[in-house]
Amino acid sequence: MNRIKVINEPSELVPMLRAVDTPIKREVLKEVTLEWKTADEIEKKFGPEGREATIFFEKMKLVETRWLSTNGNYPEKSYHTYYTSFNINAQWPVYEISDVLAAAMMSEEEYAKLEARILEQVGPTGRFSGDVAEALGLSSTMLKSLVRRSVKMDYRGHRIEPIKEE
């Protein structure tokens, strides 16, 4: 089945750029494009960073999951890419795309500090994104891009909420 991801909003570029920002993520993405792979298979081949990549891809909705029986044991979650191609509508104002690219290319250390500040504002129950942007002095595009980069929080409508561990 052909599934095409249409990117109409600048912040939607962040997951795509972050999906290939390390050699391990690139290789894991290629691996799950070819066939269904369990997290254990990925970790065996690519190490702990490979398993983290599958978690990231799942949060970014770049992979689909299904339960797969392996070697007669209990079923394991397996991963495969959800989309076969991307269609990017790339006409955005410079101030928006500059926020998106800054969020995507920001160093891990700088991002970790901002992510912690956002999570502090969001709290355990979530908060309206406009209030968070105002409190932190960020544009809505920058905030949306930073949240889309995170595996600890996500948008639910106009609210930012922490992601609950499974």
pLDDT of residue 42: 94
Domains and CATH numbers, the chain: 4-88 (1.10.10.10), 94-162 (1.10.10)
Give all strands of the β-sheet with 37-38 in edge-to-edge order.
37-38, 76-81, 63-68
pLDDT of residue 166: 55
Lowest mean pLDDT among 6-10, 77-81, 142-146: 6-10
pTM over 0.85: no
Q: Which regions of 4-156 does DSSP assign to beta strands (E)?
A: 4-7, 37-38, 63-68, 76-81, 85-88, 127-128, 153-156
